[in-house]
Structure formats: C-alpha cells, structure tokens
Amino acid sequence: MDKNLSLLQETELFRGLSEDQVRKIFAIGRKVDFPAAATIMTEGEIGDTMYIIWAGTVEVVKTLVLAGVEEEEGLEKNKVFTRLGAEQHAVFGEIALLEEAKRTATIRAITDVSLYEIRKDAFLRLAGEDPALGYRIMYNLARIVSARLRKADEDTIKLTTALSLILKETAG
Amino acid sequence: MDKNLSLLQETELFRGLSEDQVRKIFAIGRKVDFPAAATIMTEGEIGDTMYIIWAGTVEVVKTLVLAGVEEEEGLEKNKVFTRLGAEQHAVFGEIALLEEAKRTATIRAITDVSLYEIRKDAFLRLAGEDPALGYRIMYNLARIVSARLRKADEDTIKLTTALSLILKETAG
C-alpha cells in the first residue's frame, strides 16, 4: 500500500478499516497546505471540515477564561497550548462530522504544514453508501470523544477540589 | 408499532432507526427491575451493560472532589445529583458499548424502576451483522458524547475563571 494510504490507516479515526475502505476515504478528501503562522481554524467559528496532519506541526490554543471576564479582569493569558505533529497522525476538527458545532480551539501552523481535509457532506455520503465503513469510523470517533470526555471529567474534579480547598481556607 | 418499541425508537441513541432495526435492538435486550433505593451502578466500577429507563426515576450521583482529599479535608459533600426519568427516555451506561471503561457516576433508584438492559457483546454482534444499524447508533452515540464534552468544556472554563479571579484577588 502506498505511504499516504498507510498513514491514513494508522490514524485513530480510521483504525480497523480495510485497504479498500481507506482508498475510499482518500478519494473524498484533498491535500491543503498552510504556511508557518497561518491560522487553520478559529475557536468559536462553525466548521464543516476535519483535518489529518500530513506533514509539519500545529498548535492547539484553547481559551480557559470566560470571554467577558477575560478582558475586564486582565486575565487574557489564561489559554492552554498543545502541539500536534504528523508523527502522531493527529486528527482535528472531527466533531464537524457529527454536527454544526463551533470549533472548540484555534489551530495555528507552527511550521509549514500539509493537511488532508475531509468535508462533512462527502463523508456522510460515503458512510451512507458503505455502512460498514461508516460504522467503524463512528465507533472510532465515539471512542475518541469518550476518552476526551473522561479527561475533561478528571479536570473538572481537580478544579472543583482546588476551589473547595481554597474556599474552605478563606472561610476558616 | 407496539408501545415499548416506539419508546425505544424515541430515545436519542436509537433515533433514525427503522421499525425493523428497533425490533432487532429490542430482541437483544432484557427488562430488569430494581426496587426504590437500590444501587444500579457504582462510580468507578467496570461495566459492560447500558440501560434505558422504562418506568420510574433514578438519581445520578457524581463525585466532584478527588478521593483522597475528600476524606482528609472533610469535603465529602461535594457531589452533584441529577434525576433522570422515563419521560426523558433517558439512557445511561452507554459508554460501555465503546470500551471497558469505569462507570463515571453512581445510579440509584428513587422509585421502583424498570430498565431495559443491553449488553455490550450482544450489541457489537448485532452491529456487525447490520452495519447500517451499527452506523446509525454509533453516529447517535458520538453526538451524545460530543454534546457532553462541550458541556464539560464549558464547566472547565467557568471553574478556571472562578479560580483565576480568586487567585488574582488573594494575590493582590
């Protein structure tokens, strides 16, 4: 199998697909390039595309403070930064396959990057034509989102613990 | 269609299934009853079953403070409680369809309850036999988990904002 196809097959989202099914996925997408420092997607905007990192590194920037409060209280530095690279076969924006949802983070190119872009409508058409492919990808996607939810729940517990301890201290 | 089947079809997880597909789902599950005050599942335990509420009301209890800290600091009251009833066609434990994951909440019967139980292995077998059914359910499940993740992300932003403001205040 060609190197591009095997990269696609190694991403978590496409795990377990046959070579023939990976070829179908490959056929509905297109390669897009961004120069270093370009903004690929913006937190809060509606999107209908998902991306797989082909080459290069991107930065994921997520706001951690409510928009109004951020400006008012001078808390604009409360953001988290994560890097994703091609070696992790990282996928982002995949929630767009499920619904018209706002992007949950801003993605910026750190180096020149090559991405593989898949549009929601093309994906849903393909999944309707090949339900076994649709099932496998949705199963993978549900697992990915579920793992993120578990992580978010753990974060909530840590934050609530910290808040409880601080409030107990200031009250006592 | 029979009343039980139409209830099944109205749950978010089974939305969009044909009557024939809902019959298949119905055929792999069983009805289970719990008396009021019974514990149906326990936070932290591994489970391989999911439930749909048929009749009665349950309470969802989630710990909000880290286990060790909870006892040490007397913060044992930091739990959230939510009620789910048959009128919402509520589904719980559905993450068990995806992986061997720990239950993320304790579920207790408030009244006598009747539940419809589906086991992971039976579900995966059925989804393999009927990929169009598997695709639709996994698509619904991914959307449900994705909506929860969005809610969890919003909670994280609120908690981080509160923490940032308190820390700023105590520092200044």
**AA identity, residue A48:** D
Separation of CA B164 from chain center: 31
Q: What is the pLDDT of residue A78?
A: 67
Q: What is the pLDDT of residue B71?
A: 66
| Token pair of A127 as six digits | 């999944």
State the helix-helix crossing angle for B19-28 and B120-129, rounded to 10 degrees: 150
Answer whether A82 touches B (CB < 8 Å): no
Q: Is the pLDDT of residue A33 over 90?
A: yes
What is the Cα–Cα distance from B57 to B130, expressed in whole angstroms?
32
Q: Which residues of B touch A66 (CB under 8 A)?
A: 157-158, 161
Mean pLDDT of chain B: 87
The average pLDDT across A145-157 equals 88
Q: Is the pLDDT of residue A102 over 90?
A: no
Query: What b/e string do you get for B76-86 counting C-beta neighbours within 10 Å, with b at 16 or more?
Result: eebeeeeebeb
Q: Which residues sit opposite A116 in a β-bridge?
A: A31, A52
Q: Is the pLDDT of residue A125 over 90?
A: yes
What is the CATH architecture assignment of B3-171? Sandwich (2.60)
Q: How confident is the model at residue A3 (pLDDT cuts 50, 70, 90)?
A: confident
Q: Are B104 and B43 within 8 A, CB to CB?
A: yes
Out of B64, B101, B164, name the one closest to residue A160 (CB). B64
The average pLDDT across A89-117 equals 90
What is the Cα–Cα distance from A153 to B104, expressed in whole angstroms?
9
Task: Report the predicted TM-score, pTM, of the whole model to 2 decimal places.
Answer: 0.87
Q: What is the pLDDT of residue A62?
A: 86
What is residue A46's DSSP assignment?
A: B
Are the beta carbons of B157 and A63 separated by less than 8 Å?
yes
Q: How far is B107 from chain A (nearest CA, A)?
A: 17
Q: Tokens 């993320």 map to which residue?
A: B104
Q: How far is B112 from chain A (nearest CA, A)?
A: 30
Answer whether A157 touches B (CB < 8 Å): yes
The model's pLDDT over B52-80, given as tens digits with 9 standing for 90+, comes to 998 999 999 988 777 666 666 666 566 77
Q: Is the pLDDT of residue A18 over 70?
A: yes
The average pLDDT across A26-32 equals 93
ipTM score assigned to the predicted complex: 0.86
What is the Cα–Cα distance from A86 to A98, expressed in whole angstroms?
24
| Token pair of B117 as six digits | 């139980």
| Domain coordinates in residue numbering, chain B | 3-171
Q: How far is B145 from chain A (nearest CA, A)?
A: 6
Q: How far is B159 from chain A (nearest CA, A)?
A: 6
Q: Which residues sit opposite B31 in a β-bridge?
A: B116
Q: How confident is the model at residue A152 (pLDDT cuts 50, 70, 90)?
A: confident
Answer whether A80 touches B (CB < 8 Å): no
Are the beta carbons of A161 and B98 separated by less than 8 Å?
no
**AA identity, residue A143:** R
Q: Considering only CA atoms, which of A25, A17, A23, A32 is closest in space to residue A1?
A: A23
What is the Cα–Cα distance from B147 to B151, expressed in whole angstroms?
6
Answer whether A125 touches B (CB < 8 Å): no
- DSSP strand E in chain B: where? 30-34, 39-41, 49-55, 57-63, 79-85, 91-92, 106-109, 113-119
**CB count, 10 Å around CB of A90?**
19
The model's pLDDT over B93-147, given as tens digits with 9 standing for 90+, comes to 988 998 888 898 999 999 999 999 999 999 999 999 999 999 999 999 999 999 9
